Amino acid sequence: MNSSGTEPGIESELIDLEAVPFTALRDVDDDDLRRSLRHVVERASNVRARYRSGNVSGGERID
Amino acid sequence: MAESVGELPVGESRTFHRLPFHDFDAFARLDADAVMVRRLRRAERSRRKLLLLALMEESAKRPELFGPLPPLDAAWELLARVEHKSAKSLDRLLAHPYIGSWAGYTTRLLRDRIDGVCPLWMHLGHVHALAAAAAIRSGIDFEIEVPVWDGHAALPSLGIARLTPPAVFSTAVVRGEAGRYTVVNENGEVRLPAELGEDTAGWQAVRRLRTRVGRYRFSVRLDDVDPYRGLYEPMTPRRLPAAEVRQWQRLVNEACRLIVAYAPDLAETMPIGLGSLVPAPQVRYRNPSASTSEAFGSALVGRPVDGVTLGASLVHEFQHIVLGGVLHLTRLHDEDSRERIYVPWRDDPRPLSGAVQGLYAFAGVTKYWRSLVGAGDTAVARRAAFEFAHWRRQTWHVLTALRTDAALTDDGRRFLDGLAGRLGPWQAEPVPADVAELAAAIGADHRAGWRIRYLRPSGADVATLAAAWLAGDPRPPVSATAAELSPTPVPDGSWSSARTDLIRIRLSEPDATVWPAVAGATDADVAYAAGRHQVAAEEYRTELATDPDRPASLSGLGLALAAQGPGAAARALLYRPELVRAVHRELRRRTDQVPTAERLAAWIGQLVSG
């Protein structure tokens, strides 16, 4: 699931920060990072309780 | 493009998370291994870093948003010191599920500049608490001010310190020095224990349930204190009594034993994707559970009655979590919020997104029950056969409907094709005949109940049918019985799951003569569940004489008749009950010579195929 693979697959909009210390990001000005950041913020902004159940009979899921 | 500072890869070496089709197809086929789930978790950490960065950058522009707490620089500086000492300390904390739900919730508040359950500064200030928890994990000396909600100072992943607060929303100072930690406000001080997993005066730790089965060691948090552990909004701690914790431990022990014995692939993968449980109250004959894509690794679970049931709930939520991780990397369908799809696990129509989520969760549950069919315990095996027979059929129906949905993306079609490759061969596997009949009955019952409540035949068709009946036509007009209907958002009539509950009880206690009280169950339901189908049919007729519109009585009569042999009335009541009720209503409006619903159903049923 990282970008090192060359086999066919799905390229996500999520930049891989596994090897990047979080606090190092504070000083980064990078187009790809900004685009990925906007992507996750937009997705998080759209999360809503779409599957809220009106009863207790089953599961609930929020995405 | 500006050169980056720090260690972010630059230029051509910059990387994005990818999902190889090898992994994607394995997730679709329910064949994912531990490495694949670990990769999802790794992508989730990147996502949280981005969300946290966005939150900190946006809020840093407005220091006043932090209220009485120190400016954001205090948290940045402490986090930098933590990473300097031990980058893993922060990484591990970022993997904590409720950092994800906090970040998502607060992102939405910050976007709208509104308060949440607490004032905005309290939610933003949780980043100070995150820094404090990371500092404790890394063992450095530090001091930072954190928010306190109703006397609870939360240190995510560790526990809460309980203080006497000066106000509902206040602050306290967390201090670490030479491995000793305190939380202090103007009214007192809490000293954290040397072993942070233990409770002491003023300190409630996040509990862990540990169990060992063969070579497997399981450890799951039972988190009743984290403020962001809920589905929708933050909530204050609800500490479980020790006796309930012991019950949870017993249930987890039992579930883990079963999973290792019969579903060992899950023993490898599930602990990676599901490490925290939020305990919820027990609901009899129900197994409520819930999760959110923002809290990868966590699920709310109502305390079940046994480990077999807990295992099913864990698998269900693990499936949701996995699919949530996949959906952070790709889209399976276009946005379509119309609530239009029948699913047998809910009593209301679902949007495509919810139907796909439920399908994947119950496909995993189907696999779980299938694995238990061979359990040595015959009661467990029989129950598993029933649930397997039920869920394989129901998931297959939903999958068949979804595979041709126009809103699916190419990836979505590929994913459902992969799932079909797994579920398809299971449809023909043998199960005991009586179990298969009961499974088919509860499936038919649910579908009929849903149709009665959510489908509305057109007024013209109903009028045509009523006129034909009143004219004495021997058969109903074909044109009026063939329409495909879309569900309405408002149900017409009440829902009862009593019959299904009773059938499951009968399955676990086939010789029972005393039936436990099941909410909403009627004498007719009890007779049906006990296999006394003629009596049940009579009782349902009596119910319908009093209330001819009652959905559970109409479908109950259909079930009781079908159990005695095939017939037109049973077909109409189970497959077109909405039409039977609508025409019956119309006849009641038009004439005093109203037939019974059963007689009308037998007439309509001439054109209904089962």
* B212-270 residue pLDDT tens: 999 999 999 999 999 999 988 999 999 999 999 999 999 999 999 999 999 999 999 99
pLDDT at B508: 82
Taking each continuous run of H as one helix and of E as one strand, the counts in chain B are 22, 13
Q: Chain A residues with CB inside 8 Å of B354's CB?
A: 50-51, 61
Q: What are B291's strand-pairing partners?
A: A61
Minimum distance, in Å, between the CA of residue B424 and any CA atom of chain A? 25
B320 Cα distance to chain centroid: 7
For the stretch B329-353, pLDDT in tens is 999 999 999 999 999 999 999 999 9
Neighbour-count burial for B337-356, b at 16+ CB within 10 Å, e otherwise = eebbbbbbbbbbbbbbbbbb
3-class secondary structure, A8: coil
Q: Chain B residues with CB inside 8 Å of A31's CB?
A: 1
pLDDT at B412: 98
Structure tokens given for B330? 């790709």
pLDDT at A48: 65
pLDDT at B479: 80
Residue of A nearest to B83 (CA): A21
Q: Do A59 and B288 touch (CB under 8 A)?
A: yes
* CA angle centred on B107, ends B104 and B110, rounded to 5°: 155
> Over 50: is that where the pLDDT of A5 sits?
yes
Average pLDDT of chain B is 94
pLDDT at B13: 52
List A residues 12-51 in contact with B (Cβ-Cβ < 8 A): 12-33, 36-37, 40-41, 43-45, 47, 49-51
Exposed/middle/buried for residue B440 (C-beta within 10 Å: 0-12, 13-18, 19+)? middle
* CA angle centred on B223, ends B230 and B157, rounded to 5°: 100
For the stretch B87-111, pLDDT in tens is 999 999 999 999 999 999 999 999 9
pLDDT at A59: 61
* Greater model confidence, B103 or B482: B103
For the stretch A22-53, pLDDT in tens is 999 998 889 999 999 999 999 998 886 544 43
Residue of A nearest to B338 (CA): A50
For the stretch B564-596, pLDDT in tens is 999 999 999 999 999 999 999 999 999 999 999
Mutation site for B-interface testing, chosen from A22, A28, A51 by largest number of B Cβ within 10 Å:
A22
User: Rounded distance, CA B238 to CA B207, Å?
Assistant: 13
Residue of A nearest to B25 (CA): A9
Residue B82: half-sphere exposure toward Cβ, Cα within 13 Å: 30
User: Rounded distance, CA B456 to CA B488, Å?
Assistant: 7
Q: Chain B residues with CB inside 8 Å of A45's CB?
A: 107-108, 111
Structure tokens given for B246? 């012991």
* pLDDT class of B10 with cuts at 50, 70, 90: very low
Confirm if B16 and A16 have CB atoms less than 8 A apart: yes
pLDDT at B114: 95
Residue range B281-293: mean pLDDT, rounded = 87
Q: Do A22 and B52 touch (CB under 8 A)?
A: yes
Confirm if B93 and B87 have CB atoms less than 8 A apart: no
Closest CA to B302 of B323, B327, B319, B285: B285
Q: Chain A residues with CB inside 8 Å of B25's CB?
A: none
Percentages of chain A per state (helix, strand, coil), in multiples of 5: 35, 15, 50
For the stretch B356-380, pLDDT in tens is 999 999 999 999 999 999 887 888 9
Beta strand ranges found along B70-125 (DSSP E): none
Residue range B320-337: mean pLDDT, rounded = 96
Residue range B409-427: mean pLDDT, rounded = 98
Q: Is A56 touching B (CB cutoff 8 A)?
A: yes
For the stretch B122-154, pLDDT in tens is 999 999 999 999 999 999 999 999 999 999 999
User: Rounded distance, CA B318 to CA B29, Å?
Assistant: 15
> Over 90: is that where the pLDDT of B390 sits?
yes
- Amino acid identity, position B128: H
Minimum distance, in Å, between the CA of residue A35 and any CA atom of chain B? 10
Q: Do A9 and B21 touch (CB under 8 A)?
A: yes
Which residue in the set B10, B56, B324 is minimally distant from A63, CB to CB?
B324
